[in-house]
């Protein structure tokens, strides 16, 4: 069962991020690991990993890139696939996008993305969808940019993401990705756009930072 809004608000904590001072999101309390958060609220969260409760470095870098380069999105539609907390979609709207859609297969991520939009006074359509379902969303949209942050965190999801996203790029869709250098992310057919130093969650290395890359997939 997905969280109710009041449950979500009770177990999360409002956070601001060094890389994204313009934005706020609700995630796991500071200094708590993802597993500790899941265990503390297993009656609500179940066995699934609540990835939406962390601002992952690739997504932070991608959101920072959109805020720094509003000309990429002004007046256009943006789809944030595997949205997690929805920071990329919120950043797109702050940068002047005509509309943003946040997609994730986890209903709690959809709720988190909707909450992030509310906290930042922007409108984002948060919906359930799989990576493969992205093509259906694109059929109804024109002049659309697809954004994907941190989808290469495990091999199978990364493989599916690469297949779907490179296919979209081959058809002429602009695809922007963010990742801190995971082994499975695309290394060929890409154009690096920016690198950012991002403070990381305890899952990476407490109190440290990583360099996250923003790159476009070439047609």
pLDDT at 205 over 60: no
Phi first, then psi: what are they for 213, rounded to 5°? -100, 140
pTM for the whole thing?
0.94
Q: Residue 215 in contact with residue 177, Cβ under 8 Å?
A: yes
Asked if the 55-217 domain carries CATH number 3.30.420.10, the reply is no
For residue 199, the model assigns a pLDDT of 83
Q: Residue 126 in contact with residue 102, Cβ under 8 Å?
A: yes
Give the model confidence (pLDDT) of 156-170 as tens digits: 999 999 999 998 899
Q: Where are the domains of the chain?
A: 55-217
């Amino acid at each position: 069962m997905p969280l109710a809004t009041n449950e979500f608000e009770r177990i999360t904590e409002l956070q601001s991020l060094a890389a994204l001072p313009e934005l706020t999101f609700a995630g796991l309390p500071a200094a708590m690991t993802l597993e500790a958060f899941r265990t503390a609220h297993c009656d609500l969260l179940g066995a699934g990993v609540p990835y939406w409760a962390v601002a992952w470095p690739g997504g932070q870098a991608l959101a920072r890139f959109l805020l720094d380069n509003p000309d990429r999105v002004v007046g256009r539609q943006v789809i944030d696939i595997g949205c997690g907390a929805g920071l990329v979609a919120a950043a797109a709207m702050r940068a002047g996008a005509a509309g943003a859609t946040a997609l994730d297969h986890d209903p709690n991520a959809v709720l988190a993305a909707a909450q992030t939009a509310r906290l930042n006074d922007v409108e984002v359509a948060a919906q359930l969808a799989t990576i493969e379902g992205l093509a259906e969303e694109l059929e109804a949209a024109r002049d659309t940019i697809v954004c994907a942050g941190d989808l290469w965190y495990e091999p199978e999801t990364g493989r599916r993401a690469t297949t779907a996203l490179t296919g979209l790029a081959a058809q002429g869709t602009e695809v922007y990705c963010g990742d801190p250098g995971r082994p499975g992310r695309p290394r060929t057919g890409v154009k690096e756009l920016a690198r950012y130093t991002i403070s990381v969650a305890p899952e990476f290395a407490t109190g440290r930072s990583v360099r996250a890359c923003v790159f476009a997939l070439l047609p």
